Structures are given as C-alpha cells and as structure tokens.
Structure 1
Amino acid sequence: METFLHKHQGEMLQLVEKLVNIDSGSTNKHGVDKIGTFLETCFQDLGFTVSVAKEMELGNHLIIQHKDIEKPEIIILAHLDTVFPIGTAKERPFRIEGNRAYGPGVIDMKSSLVSVLYAIKALIYENFDSYKHLKIILNSDEEIGSPSSRKIIEREAQGCKFALVMEPARKDGSVVTARRGKGNYTLIVEGKAAHSGIEPEKGRSAIEELAHKIIQLHELNDYKTGISVNVGLIEGGSSINTISDHAEAHIDVRIKKEEQINIVEGKLEEICSTSDVIGTKVSIEGEINRPPMVKNKQTRALLRIIQDVGDEIGIIIEDTETGGGSDASFTSSLGIATIDGLGPIGGNAHSEKEYLEVPSLVERTLLLATLIERLANK
C-alpha cells in the first residue's frame, strides 16, 4: 500500500487543494454540501453506498459503507465543515511552501477527508476486503458541537468495536486518547430599567447582578480535577445613561470525568437560585453537549494495536490528552474503543496560519489503511 500511496501523493494533494478552495463553514450549507456531493461520488465510484441525511439549514450528513458490507465493527468519523466564513478561501487559497501546505481547513480536516478516501483506495488496490467491515460518517456540524449529527453517530456506532476519529494528529504526531467534556450555558439576568441621572434608585441593574455572578462562576474553576468554567462573552444594557434591565453571560464549561457533570450543573443552579442585587431575576440554560472522552481499558488496548501498526510501517506513535472537544466523545461514552487524532500531522487549526505537514499525508494514510486491515481481522 505504501508504494500505491507514494505514487498517488500528487493526486492526493490536488484533491486537498480542491477541497480547501471550497468555503465550507458550518453555517454555509451550499459549500458544505458541495464538498459532500463531490465525496459522495468519489465513494460511489469505489462501490460504496452513500445514505444522505438531509438538513434544512446546515449541511447534509453522509453515512458511507460498502454495498457488500460484512459485520461492520469499525466506524470512521470525519467532518465536512470548517470554522471559516465565506470568502476566506478566495482571500488565502491553498498553497505549498516547502514541506507545508496552507489554507483554510487544510488540517482540520480536509486533508483527513482525502486520507480516508485514499486509505480505502489503497486497500482495494491491494485486494484486501477489510473496507467491507467499516462505516464512515462525514458530518456537517462538528465545529459547532454536532447538534444534528450526534444522534446519527450514536445510532450508527451501535455494534461497532472500534472508532477511528480523523481529527488531525498533534504537531508532534501524537494521537489523542482523552478529551475533556464540554458544555455551553447562557446565564440570563432580568432587572429594571431607569434613568441613571434622574431616578437611578428606581432601577435594578442587571449588569451589576451579572458582575456578581461572573465572580461566583469563575470561583468554580478547579484545574487540578479538570473542571474549568469560563465566561467568554457578556452582553447587556441599552445605553450608558440607563440602568440596565437585561444582561447575559455565555459560559464555556469543561470537565474531565462523567460524574463531574452533575457536580458542575448543581453548582450552576445554586449560583442562579438567588440574586445579589435585590429585584433582579436570574436564570440559566444550556447543557454539557460533549461528554468526556476517557482513556479507558478499551482505548488503551486500541492504542497498543495502533502503536504495533506504527512499528510495522516505521512510525513511532505517542498519545496525548487535550481539552478540546470532538465527536470522539460520543463513541467513547458508548463504551467503544476510540482513538482520535488519526489524521495527518499539522497545526494552528482555526487560524490564518493553519498548516499540513505534507509528508504526513501519505504516512498517516498508510497508518490508517494498515490499521483498518489489522482491526478487520481481529
């Protein structure tokens, strides 16, 4: 398979360029569906069937499996969307400088989409039939928390033993074996408006109440145990000379263990149960939308297999934990052995400096193809 992939490296890079130069931000349905339709055809040409889960506002999701599928025990997760607005691809299109390729979404995760496709092509070329033992989910909303695709991922993962998640490898090449869970909450304060010069005593400041609550929220941080609470965005008030009657705080919550969900949510409810500013009302809404991905017994066993495969093809595989979220959390929470970061190597995702280490495109595609073959024969 290595010879096949090296022979097609130029073709793979051309496909990465094609995908990078299509804007596909999460809310850009047209762009996301353009990439999805193109990849649908690519997989159909290889004898795969593609079921399209249609969405009205966001891009469609693709469920891909071979027409002669046999006992699918492997699920591959990848996403079609990026974080970049329309026009970004035109402003800074795909380019290669030395051993690095640049462009919006080049590593997160358009190179991974190419990697999945060519891993299948390599298996077919070598007359292996391991591709008949897997499902591939390409979803359109990972970058915004997978609100519509989560149920699809959890449904399709039922009965699978292994989940291979195609987020990029870390800058040092490490795969990801643990992620913190993530939640988004909005704290809402209702006060009473009044003119700040004429009758301020009649007002009840929502902003003042929100200030008290922000301090209390940040006091929940416990970095040693993996709990972090951050108020990242606040809104409130209508004018500088008006006592504010409305204010909001948007809160990012991260947890390391499943049991911390109830602990954190209990403390959030406690904070919002009373007002520090008499006459204001406080409420909170939101949830933990990604459970933590835990490095459990199943994941450790899968990591050892990946490391053995790496040794076989001459790659040293290390693993790491990260605080960022991904769809790996969904399969991990179902008890499925899950490894993330199986895409090519790169860095600076979600920024103007996002890059792909070009040699890793073939290297990590070979790792993926060899791993599929190994797992299908387990």
Structure 2
Amino acid sequence: MKGFLQTKKDEMIGLLERLVNIDSGSTHKEGIDEVGGILKELYEELGFSTEVVEESTSGNNMVITYGENPSILLVAHMDTVFRVGTAKERPFKIEGDKAYGPGVIDMKGSQVALLYAMKALKEKNLRALESVQIVLNGDEETGSETSRPIIEKCAEGKKYALIMEPARKDGSLVTARRGVGRYSVYVTGKAAHSGIEPQNGISAIGELAHKIIKLHALTNHDEGVSVSVGIIEGGESVNTVAPTAAGHVDVRIRYAEQAEVIDAMIREICTTSDVPGTTITLEGGINRPPMVKNEQTIELLEIIKETGAGLGIEITDVSTGGGSDASFTSAMGIPTIDGLGPIGGNAHSDQEYLEIPSLLERTHLLAEVIGRLSAGE
C-alpha cells in the first residue's frame, strides 16, 4: 500500500489544504457542514453509504459504512476550536516539512489520513473495508453532546475502536486519558452605586470569588484530580456593585469512581452562599469518562506495535490529560486506541502544525492495522 499512497501524496496535501481553508469552529455549523459535504461525496465515490444526522445548531454528524457487519469503529471530528475568519487570516501553508493552518493537525490531517487509508484498502484489501464503520462528528471540541449517543450506538458490538486524534509530537499513540467535566456557576446579587450607596448592594463577584477558592481547593494532582475555573464574567461597571457573575469550570479525573465524588463536592460548595443575599445556579457535570489503559487496550496496542515494526515504525504510547471521544468507547469495554492520526503539535494555537512525512506514514500504518484487525488477528 505504500507505493499506492506515494502516488496520492499531492492529492492528499491538496485535500488537506482545501479542508484547512474552511472555517469549521464548533459554533460555525455552516463551515462544519461544508467539510462534511466534501467528505460525504468522497466516501460515496469509494462505495461507502453515508447517513447524515442533521443537527439544529451544531455541525451535522455522519455515519459511514461499507459492509453489513462492521467490527471496527473509527471516529474523527470535523470541528475545530477556531473562530470564523481564522482561515482567511492565516490560511494553509507549507514551510519545509511542515504544514500550518487552523485545524491542520486537530484534526483535518486525520480526516485526510482516514479517507486515504480507505482508498488504499479498496485498492489492496477490499475485504477489510467491510469491517469498517466511521463516525465523523461535528461537536467534539465542545464535549460531543450530540455525537456521543451516535458514537455509543455505533460502538455496540464492535471488536475495536480506533480514534483519529493526532499522534503526539514524538509520534506516540494515546492509551489513557483523564475524564473531563464542565460546570458553570451563575451568581446573582444586587446592584448598587459603589460610591453613593454601597451598603445597599450585594456583590455577585464577591460570592464567585469565594466559590473559586473552594473549587480550586478540590485539586489533588497526586490523585489525578484537577479543578480549574478558566473563565469568569461579571459586573456592569467599575462603580457598580456587581449584580451578576459567572465562572466556568474545567474538571479532570483519572478514575471513573472519582466522577461521583468530585461532582458531589462541587454541588455541595455551590449549595450555600458565602455572601448573604446571593443566589447560585450550577449547571453541567462530568461529560467524558476516563479512558483507562487496561488489558484489552494493551493487547490492541501490541498488534499495532507489531504492525508498525513491520513497516519500520517504532510505536510508543502515552497517557494524556486531554479529553477525546476515545473515552466513550473505552468506557463501554471496547479495546480502544487513540492518536492514530498524523504527527504534529501546538494544536489549538496559531502555531499548529503537521509533519508532512507523517501524513503518508500514519495513513499507511492505519490501513495495515485495519487490514490485520479485519483478518481476525
């Protein structure tokens, strides 16, 4: 398959450029659906059937299948974290052996690799395509709220799940991830002029400050638990006692059993006001379970390592604190490996890059792994 893919290198880079130059931030439904439309057409040209699951506000999700009884699920998201206009401001470019642009590694490069792995399999191992089902989702970067049920439904009965997040900077695959939670704390107080009648005001910001300190105190790095209020909002003017405030909270956990405990602690903190007269509303919860490196994961990793060795690729693996859709399939007990996309780094930044040689290398690896798994090894 290596020779076939080498003949497609220019095509692959051309498709990568086309996808990167489309704004598809999680809140930009039009752009995500444009990416989905391009990929839908290309998969249908290969003989895949596609089912578009329409969403009202977020990007549409898509289920792509070749055979009747697929045993391998692949998941790749179409959304990015970048605002509308970013692609125009810093479009796709190549400097040396690296490609740059918004979403180039997270994960438009993976979309290209996945499609061309399917092309290679159709050329060299048609039987393997019948083992494949693909979910392309449009809201991974915001927690996969609409796509999680689709991923979990498709995962039922599957033998393996391969998640197309990019490989780490050193080429490592991902075999463990921390679970993720998102909460929002909304506080209501009472406005008053801070110079004329401050005694008549009740500061929502003051109440939120108490909550931030208590929430941050829940962090225990030794246990793999971190709680961070990453965004705060509040107030109307500098000379007004703040009538409203909000804090948006990120939670990470190492083990599934920590989810219920940390959720209860957060809710207890937000049940009682520290500043009399304020009211608190808490929204959110744990939305991604941890991906645990268990025996099934290790067995699948060994297959990938052996396949990589046959291609001259040394495969290593890491644990990471970031969340992904791998958590859903792993929590269902399905052997899951993440990070099967190309190699790159600086995701979510204006220096995001993809190592171009890895685009062919990891596409080849993916195709060979699917071929081996479909043969029942």
Normalised by the length of structure 2, the TM-score is: 0.97
1:21 & 1:193 partners in 2: Cα distance? 46
Instruction: Decide which moves more: 273-282 or 361-370.
Output: 273-282
Partner SS, residue 192 of structure 1: coil
Which of 358, 367, 370 is the aligned partner of 1:369? 367
Q: Deviations over 1:41-97 (max 9, x none)?
A: 11111111001101122221110011xx14211000001111112222222221111
Q: Please tell me the residue identity of whatever aligns with 1:159.
A: G
Q: 2:162, 2:338 within 8 Å by CA — same for their partners in 1?
A: yes
Q: In 2, distance between residues paired with 1:24 and 1:61?
A: 13
1:253 offset after TM fit, Å?
0.7
Asked whether the 8 Å contact 1:106–1:354 carries over to 2, the reply is: yes
Does the 8 Å CA contact 1:182/1:255 hold for their aligned counterparts? Answer: yes
Letter in 1 for 2:216: H
1:235-274 correspondence runs (5 A): 235-274=233-272
Aligned residue in 2 for 1:72: 70
Q: Which amino acid aligns with 1:177?
A: T
Separation (CA, whole Å) in 2 of partners of 1:190 and 1:34: 40
Matches within 5 A, 1:52-201: 52-66=52-66, 69-201=67-199
How far apart, CA to CA, are the structure 1 residues paired with 2:195 and 2:274? 23
**Equivalent position amino acid for 2:163 in 1:** V
Give the stretch that moved more between structures: 232-241 or 306-315. 232-241
- Secondary structure of the residue aligned to 1:284 is strand
Q: TM-score, normalised by structure 1?
A: 0.97
Q: Secondary structure at the match of 2:126?
A: coil
Secondary structure class of the residue paired with 2:130:
helix
Is the 1:128–1:373 Cα contact (8 Å) retained in structure 2?
A: no
Distance of 2:225 and 2:171 partners within structure 1: 27
Q: Which residue of the partner structure matches residue 36 of structure 2?
A: 36
Partner Cα separation in structure 2 for residue 138 and residue 59 of structure 1: 10
Is the contact made by 2:125 and 2:371 (CA closer than 8 Å) also made in structure 1?
A: no
- Report the equivalent of 1:25: 25
1:289 paired residue number: 287
Residue 46 of structure 1 corresponds to which residue in structure 2?
A: 46
1:277 corresponds to: 275
Contact 1:161–1:337 (8 Å) recurs in 2:
yes
Unaligned runs of 5+ in 1: none
Q: Which residue of 2 aligns with 1:10?
A: 10
Q: How far is the alpha carbon of 1:278 from its aligned partner? A: 2.0
Per-residue CA deviation, residues 251-270 of structure 1 (Å, 9 max, x unaligned), is 11111111111111111122
Q: 1:194-343 to 2 correspondence within 5 Å?
A: 194-343=192-341
3-state SS of paired residue (1:112): helix
CA offset digits 1:275-296 (Å, max 9, x no partner) = 2222222231111111111111
Aligned length: 376
Query: What one-letter code is carried by the residue in structure 2 that aligns with 1:273?
Result: T
Deviations 1:114-135 (A, max 9, x none): 1111111111111431110110
> Residue 40 of structure 1: SS of its match in structure 2?
helix
- C-alpha distance in structure 2 between counterparts of 1:299 and 1:19, whole Å: 32
Per-residue CA deviations over 1:147-180 (Å, capped at 9, x if unaligned) read 1111111111111011100000000000001111
One-letter code aligned to 1:355 = Y
Q: How far did 1:200 drift?
A: 2.2
CA–CA separation in structure 1 for the residues paired with 2:140 and 2:217: 30
SS of 2:56's partner is coil
Secondary structure of 1:251 counterpart = strand
- Secondary structure of 1:129's counterpart equals helix
Which letter does structure 1 place at the counterpart of 2:33?
A: D
Partner SS for 1:370: helix
- Range 118-127 or range 185-194, more displaced: 185-194
- Work out the CA distance in 1 between the residues paired with 2:163 and 2:98: 23
Q: Is the 8 A contact 2:223 2:254 kept in 1?
A: yes
Q: What's the CA shift for 1:144?
A: 1.2
Distance across 1 between alignment mates of 2:330 and 2:339: 14
Identity %: 59
Counterpart residue type for residue 20 of structure 1: V
Distance in 2, Cα, partners of 1:29 & 1:241: 39
RMSD: 1.2
